[in-house]
Amino acid sequence: MTKHTESYPLTLKKTVINDSFWSEYQKLIRDVVLPYQKDALNDNIPGAEPSHAIKNFKIAAGLEIGEFQGWVFQDSDVAKWLEAVAYSLSQTPDSELERSADEVIDIIEKAQQRDGYLDTYFIIKEPEKRWTNLEECHELYCAGHMIEAGVAYFSATGKRKLLDVVCRLADCIDSVFGPEPGKMKGYCGHQEIELALVKLYRITGNERYLSLSRYFIDERGKEPYYFSLEREKRDILEFWPGFSKFKREYMQTHLPVREQKTAEGHAVRTVYMYSAIADIVAETGDEGLLDACRNVWDNIVKRKMYITGGIGSAAFGEGFTFDYDLPNDTVYAESCASVGLVMLAHRMLKIEAKGEYGDVMERALYNNILSGMALDGKSFFYVNPLEVLPEACEKNPAMEHVKPVRQKWFSCSCCPPNIARLLMSLSQYIYTVGKNSIYTHLYIGGKAEFDLDGTSVILTQETNYPWDGNVRLKATGFGEKEFTLALRIPAWCRNYKLRVNGKILETGVDILKGYAKISRIWNDEDTVELSMDMPAVLIQANPEVRADAGKVAITRGPLVYCLEEIDNGSNLSAISIPLDCSLEIEKDNSFLNGAVTIRTTAIRTDDKYWPDELYRPAVNTEKETIIKAVPYSMWCNRRPGEMTVWIRYR
Amino acid sequence: MTKHTESYPLTLKKTVINDSFWSEYQKLIRDVVLPYQKDALNDNIPGAEPSHAIKNFKIAAGLEIGEFQGWVFQDSDVAKWLEAVAYSLSQTPDSELERSADEVIDIIEKAQQRDGYLDTYFIIKEPEKRWTNLEECHELYCAGHMIEAGVAYFSATGKRKLLDVVCRLADCIDSVFGPEPGKMKGYCGHQEIELALVKLYRITGNERYLSLSRYFIDERGKEPYYFSLEREKRDILEFWPGFSKFKREYMQTHLPVREQKTAEGHAVRTVYMYSAIADIVAETGDEGLLDACRNVWDNIVKRKMYITGGIGSAAFGEGFTFDYDLPNDTVYAESCASVGLVMLAHRMLKIEAKGEYGDVMERALYNNILSGMALDGKSFFYVNPLEVLPEACEKNPAMEHVKPVRQKWFSCSCCPPNIARLLMSLSQYIYTVGKNSIYTHLYIGGKAEFDLDGTSVILTQETNYPWDGNVRLKATGFGEKEFTLALRIPAWCRNYKLRVNGKILETGVDILKGYAKISRIWNDEDTVELSMDMPAVLIQANPEVRADAGKVAITRGPLVYCLEEIDNGSNLSAISIPLDCSLEIEKDNSFLNGAVTIRTTAIRTDDKYWPDELYRPAVNTEKETIIKAVPYSMWCNRRPGEMTVWIRYR
């Protein structure tokens, strides 16, 4: 086993975010989202669908009497909340929050069975049916999320209780599954355990966890087909009515993983699985798995990704469809899938620092993921459409899954805690540190402490990103040291300047795979300034994307913009813009948390002279109009209405 | 009761079609479709889904042993076939076909129960559950189709056997349902019996049938809600799994009919119901019902009709959605719904000769309905999309219901026999005769015999319509008579000339509600020539139709055109046309049955310089291209591929 990793992230405790854009979001999650989600998990939100999740653990622990309620994977919502709490605590101590988490962990520990098994559905409802329906019942998926929580909580607080619980759980799973004779040859219908086991391996050093993860990956999609064998043994064909309609692609079991070349099926499962595979590659240097990662990555980002970083374009199966099929209105683009895409991008970045991984990470983060949460932290999108007509969501069944306003909570509420845990661990995604090099992947203000061959270097970042493209990095805490500082130059950036200690850098910088690498002897208090021009730009989609033909999107820096009815009147489809229009930038601190907005002169179909008819010979009846675009992530924070990202051009 | 009818259709026997366009279709139905459908109903088509329909009748008749198979409404396919056979026989005697029909009728008669009841599902499978699930089980629907067949077969052949069967059936229904104490207060979930009963009334003169029809209409949507009461009494909630998801609108029971102002729910049910209502209005002069007809008609044709005359834009519920919601790719636009729209238009036309009824009749007939059948008569569309990407139909579940090629038969095969019966009765739709007036609604060559106050007038029509706009009518068979000849001037027609006996008509013609009315003393052998300019025209949709924003459709006369991949290469979304383009007309007798095609210079996005990426800053990279459009009704008669009606304009 040879490690295949160019650089590593810092631990959360080594980084602090202090950023005009992101600190607000993190504060919101700490102050609003985590307490809100705690209430939701405890069924204390009036008007929201009850979760039952904590109650299930209490029943499994023998602390309450009752029946299991909620989805079969309900446990995972508790785990994701605990994980987000852990990330929050690692940056901002909060004894009350920690006490709440400890109480939940106590209940979880009590719910765990003597042999380490832990899944409240099967403990309460069908104890004799453990591991009999891996295809549909999410046992290993829930275990994976609990393992991630255990690792995060230990890292944050040093408390071992949940880590011990999940080690026992992992040991229990390891005793049941594996290549050894007498063990089951299965794997989970919904991948998640695989990446969790690598995390557990990394924190415990126990190689059995890594081996088990690798086993699950390698077993997947082999013949004889495990899920067929499993089905033959069951008395009930389908746990989920209609589940057998899904093809093998839905669970990425259509081929052994090493033979998969394209992204197929359920989008979240896909990116969770490839995140685990990238982790295994990093640990083992497995070239066959790396090829699979690269092929699937390419297929996603070159064929199957919305401009917002959303993935998975079909509601049925929550999944990928086919190359260039990116409808804007019947879209799925689940928030969780973009969270998984960020996870995958980040892991690929560690294997190899290539700008495109950072670009996609940024695209998903600033657009599809942030759109998933309201600016007040109290409501969420599961599906992230690029075009919305509220009446269609209500009255055309093809858009039934698209909600025109964020929801308080969901009976299947995977997305809100997923967004919370990502944003609370965001500082992990900013930098990685390699052999005498520091890589800056994201432009987010704050402080980070690096260990470069035993020298401690503190890097302070100041920026107003994404509202402008100016970034200032200061290195302190050391005397003098030669190392490389690499800064990602985003693909959106056409012009930039680099200054070291105020002087424009003419030599001594290599542009390599999307990174500007400055290698020199650095002195304490040295500064680097990166000034990226950030004009508003019209973007078009590949002509093969039929849904976007004849249309452009307004973007600026990493942000995709959209038109909302509240700013532009109803019927946004009547608007078109000249390709050579002048896009003016405006900033009003009192508007949408100080968002930069974009204004331009456009053309609107003048329907004043339309008779009350559906069809007539074509004539040009147009008038000038001013349109205003707002960041996509912030849509629907004022009043519900029509929204569109793609605008016709003339 | 006062009749409210401006004019009446001729009986089928009084009209003969002899037309270069339509005679081919009728010949196809006689020679290919009716024998093919007979084989299909007898489960004799290799590779097609078996129908079981005749077999069910044999089992119900005690002639065979077996179980009921197929849909609960399978009987109606036999009835529609018999009706189409009847229309065929009334124009072209065919002893073999007639013998086949007689054999089927013998079986049907044997299957009928002693009390007149006739529905093979309930006779074979659940005899004790008759009339217990009117909401879902189509008993009265099937009865309605059998009544239509009985009336048509008697009119065509003079044979009473099936008419007697359906009279007994109607008497049985009348003994069960009605306002009288002790009778059931229900009505059918799928309307059809209502219009059938009016037909039966007209041929028998028995007013109880008209009253019963009126009763069903008036009872619909009243409180207490019949289908709720019915459900309470049943042991099984849903006959169709998931049926209870449908709202009352699905069956047009959300309001009493007189209060309905918009077209809601299942499209076929809607137009079948309003066809019956229009019939009742014609017979009774009921102004409240006429208002409902007019309101719903307006709502359909001004808000909810595709340019092809397709209606019902949603697959789920096969129904209407909301005003201006006409998506081209996730569309439904069932062939049967357009057949029903023609039925409704024709009935409205009899109440009042207004050009818009004829225009819609023509639009649906020449486009959405004809597209439902292949030029060889051997395959059919159920769903009629306006935009097709075959890969999307296969791989995006939102388009699963859209088939990119016509199918041999369907397990639910309502559409093929519905198209057959409409086209075989087409001559009924050409003319109506009113008080000393002859109305010409459709331009179809042939001969018709009118009785004007006792004078027999024969009208011979010659035309190449829809390939050109020249129509020649010759009146013969009488000496001299004063009457009005009214010719519909289609809404698509901007310029036309009228000649009588070769001389341009300057005076003596009134243009009234879309009809040119020539009132004069006619002499034997007088001719009228109508010359309508028929240029190709670009049509745009109302700006509220978001799916068509920035797009135009190519039309010529009554025909909507489309682009196919076979003529224009793949990726039709890359094509745009200038609004001022010159549309050239071509005709090649060896191409698609001699169809007129349209050619123009257009613009195609040049993707040669596109990098292997999804998004880039917008630039104009376009090149000229020649495009060729073919009549929409004839698409997919060569090779499967992409197709689009709506084309972006510049």
Range A256-425: architecture per CATH: Alpha/alpha barrel (1.50)
B392 touches chain A (CB under 8 A): yes
Q: Which residue in chain B has the smallest CA separation from A642?
A: B546
Beta strands in A443-508 (DSSP E): 446-452, 455-463, 470-476, 480-488, 496-500, 503-504
CA B495 to chain centre: 29
C-alpha B221/C-alpha B237 separation (Å) is: 20
Alpha-carbon distances of A420 from A22, A308, B24, B217, rounded to whole Å: 13, 19, 67, 56
pLDDT at B409 over 80: no
Give the other-Cβ count within 10 Å of A450's Cβ: 21
Q: A12 with A156: CB under 8 angstroms?
A: yes
CA A28 to chain centre: 18
Are B574 and A395 within 8 A, CB to CB?
Answer: no
Supply the pLDDT for residue B407: 87
Supply the pLDDT for residue A10: 83
Supply the pLDDT for residue A411: 63
* Chain A residues lying within 8 Å of B605, measured CB to CB: 543, 549
- The domain spans of chain A are 256-425, 431-532, 536-649
Phi, psi of B216 (to 5 degrees): -60, -40
Supply the pLDDT for residue A589: 87
User: Stretch B71-88: mean pLDDT, rounded?
Assistant: 96
Identify the helix (H) or strand (E) that includes residue B362.
Answer: helix B355-363
C-alpha A76/C-alpha A140 separation (Å) is: 10
**What's chain B's average pLDDT?**
95
Split at pLDDT 50, 70, 90, the class of B508 is confident
* Chain B residues lying within 8 Å of A392, measured CB to CB: 321-322, 325
C-alpha A367/C-alpha A360 separation (Å) is: 11
A175 touches chain B (CB under 8 A): no
Q: How many residues does chain A have?
A: 650
Choose among B477, B488, B489: nearest CA to B452: B477
Burial (CB count within 10 angstroms: exposed 0-12, middle 13-18, buried 19+), residue B234: middle
Three-state DSSP class for residue B458 = strand
Are A618 and B552 within 8 A, CB to CB?
Answer: yes
**Rounded percentage of chain B residues whose pLDDT exceeds 90:** 88
Residue of B544, B549, B618 with shortest CB distance to A579? B618
The amino acid sitting at B138 is H
Which token pair is A273? 């699985």
Which token pair is B486? 């009214």
Q: Which residue in chain A has the smallest CA separation from B606?
A: A543
* Chain B residues lying within 8 Å of A307, measured CB to CB: 614-615
Q: A177 with A107: CB under 8 angstroms?
A: no
Q: A381 with A410: CB under 8 angstroms?
A: no
Residue of B392, B542, B619 with shortest CB distance to A613? B542
- Residue labelled with tokens 């309460």: A124
Supply the pLDDT for residue A409: 66
Choose among A439, A271, A461, A267: nearest CA to A351: A439
Interfacial B residues in 310-329 facing A (CB < 8 Å): 313-317, 321-322, 325, 327
Q: What percentage of chain A's residues is helix, strand, coil (to nearest 5)?
A: 40, 20, 35
Supply the pLDDT for residue B4: 87
Helical axes B95-111 vs B53-60, angle rounded to 10°:
50
Supply the pLDDT for residue B3: 86
pLDDT at B500 over 70: yes
Catalytic residue among A142, A172, A414, A636: A414
Are B614 and A303 within 8 A, CB to CB?
Answer: yes
Split at pLDDT 50, 70, 90, the class of B411 is low
CATH class of residue range B431-532:
mainly beta
Alpha-helix residue ranges (DSSP H) falling in B479-604: 565-568
Alpha-helix residue ranges (DSSP H) falling in A333-452: 335-351, 355-363, 390-395, 415-424
Supply the pLDDT for residue A415: 78
Q: What is the mean pLDDT of each run of 10 residues along chain A (650 residues)?
A: 84 89 94 92 87 96 96 95 96 95 98 98 96 97 98 96 98 98 96 98 97 98 95 88 92 96 97 98 96 97 98 95 97 96 97 96 98 92 96 93 86 79 95 94 97 93 97 94 96 96 87 94 96 98 97 98 98 97 93 95 90 94 96 97 97
Half-sphere exposure of B483 (CA within 13 A, CB side): 26
Interfacial B residues in 52-71 facing A (CB < 8 Å): none
| Preceding omega of B224 cis (within 30 degrees of 0) | yes
Split at pLDDT 50, 70, 90, the class of B551 is very high
| The Cα angle at residue B117 between residues B113 and B118, in degrees rounded to 5 | 90
Q: B605 with B621: CB under 8 angstroms?
A: yes
Q: What percentage of chain B's residues is helix, strand, coil (to nearest 5)?
A: 40, 20, 40
Burial (CB count within 10 angstroms: exposed 0-12, middle 13-18, buried 19+), residue A259: exposed
Supply the pLDDT for residue A237: 81
Which token pair is A451? 């260990």
Q: Which residue in chain B has the smallest CA separation from A390?
A: B322
**B637 compared with B453, residue with greater pLDDT:** B637
Which token pair is A627? 């349109």
Give B1-37 pLDDT, tens digit per residue: 688 888 888 887 889 999 999 999 999 999 999 998 9
Complex prediction ipTM = 0.95
The alpha carbon of residue B2 is apart from the nearest alpha carbon of chain A, in Å, by: 32
Which token pair is A371? 């759109």
Supply the pLDDT for residue A370: 97
pLDDT at B410 over 80: no
| HEC secondary structure over A192-219 | CHHHHHHHHHHHHCCHHHHHHHHHHHHH
Which token pair is B71? 């849909």
What is the dihedral angle through the alpha carbons of B529, B533, B534, B535, rounded to the nearest 10 degrees?
170
C-alpha B174/C-alpha B179 separation (Å) is: 10
Are A397 and B325 within 8 A, CB to CB?
Answer: no
**B509 compared with A189, residue with greater pLDDT:** A189
Give B132-188 pLDDT, tens digit per residue: 999 999 999 999 999 999 999 999 999 999 999 999 999 999 999 999 999 999 999
Interfacial B residues in 154-173 facing A (CB < 8 Å): none
